[in-house]
C-alpha cells in the first residue's frame, strides 16, 4: 500500500515555553505515481486563534503551474519579509547615538 501523503510536516512556530500554539502544517497527498490528480495539497498557517489555509490544486496542467507560481511567490515574499525583519531587529538592538556618547563619557570618567 502506497502512503497517502508524499509530504506531511507540522512544526510549531514558537518555543514550547511560550505555551502558544502557532504552527505550520504542510501536506501534499500522494498522486500514487501520477495516477491520482485530485489530491489534497494544503498549507495551513495558524497563530493562536487565527488560521489560514492555502490550497495548491494539481488537477489540471494550468492549476499545477499556478500552484507552483503561488508557492514560489510566497517563498519570495517571506524571504524579503525576513530580510526586512532582520534589518529592523538590528536597528532596534543597535545602541542609539546618545547612549554611545554617555558610555564614552562614563568610560572617560573611570
**Ordered DSSP codes for 4-34:** SEEEEEEEESS-GGG----EEEEEEE--TTT
The number of folded domains in the chain is 1
What pLDDT score was predicted for residue 2? Answer: 65
Distance CA 54, CA 43 (A): 5
What pLDDT score was predicted for residue 99? Answer: 60
- Is 30 a member of any domain? yes
- Is 110 a member of any domain? no
**What value does the mean pLDDT take over residues 54-75?**
98
Residues spanned by the domain of 46: 5-94
* 5 φ/ψ sector (left φ>0, alpha ψ -120 to 50, else beta): beta
Going by C-alpha positions, the residue among 48, 47, 49, 69 that lies closest to residue 58 is: 69
Distance CA 6, CA 78 (A): 24
- Is 53 a member of any domain? yes
What pLDDT score was predicted for residue 46? Answer: 97
Q: How confident is the model at residue 84 (pLDDT cuts 50, 70, 90)?
A: very high
What pLDDT score was predicted for residue 3? Answer: 72
Question: At 28, phi and psi to the nearest 5?
Answer: -125, 110
Distance CA 56, CA 94 (A): 41
State what percent of residues in the chain have pLDDT above 70. Answer: 85
- Is 85 a member of any domain? yes
- Is 108 a member of any domain? no
- Is 100 a member of any domain? no
Mean pLDDT is lowest, of 2-6, 23-27, 42-46, 59-63, for 2-6
- Is 81 a member of any domain? yes
**What value does the mean pLDDT take over residues 60-89?**
98
- Is 105 a member of any domain? no
**What value does the mean pLDDT take over residues 20-44?**
95
Q: How confident is the model at residue 106 (pLDDT cuts 50, 70, 90)?
A: low
State which H helix or E strand residue 108 sits in. helix 97-109
How many other C-beta atoms lie within 10 A of the C-beta of residue 26?
Answer: 18
Amino acid at each position: 500500500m502506497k502512503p497517502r501523503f508524499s509530504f506531511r510536516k507540522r512544526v510549531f512556530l514558537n518555543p514550547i515555553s511560550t505555551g502558544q500554539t502557532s504552527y505550520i502544517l504542510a501536506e501534499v497527498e500522494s498522486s500514487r505515481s501520477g495516477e491520482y490528480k485530485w489530491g489534497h495539497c494544503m498549507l495551513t498557517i495558524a497563530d493562536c486563534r487565527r488560521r489560514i489555509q492555502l490550497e495548491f490544486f494539481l488537477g489540471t496542467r494550468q492549476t499545477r503551474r499556478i500552484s507552483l507560481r503561488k508557492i514560489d511567490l510566497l517563498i519570495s515574499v517571506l524571504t524579503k519579509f525576513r530580510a526586512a525583519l532582520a534589518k529592523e531587529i538590528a536597528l532596534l538592538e543597535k545602541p542609539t547615538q546618545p547612549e554611545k556618547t554617555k558610555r564614552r563619557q562614563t568610560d572617560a570618567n573611570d
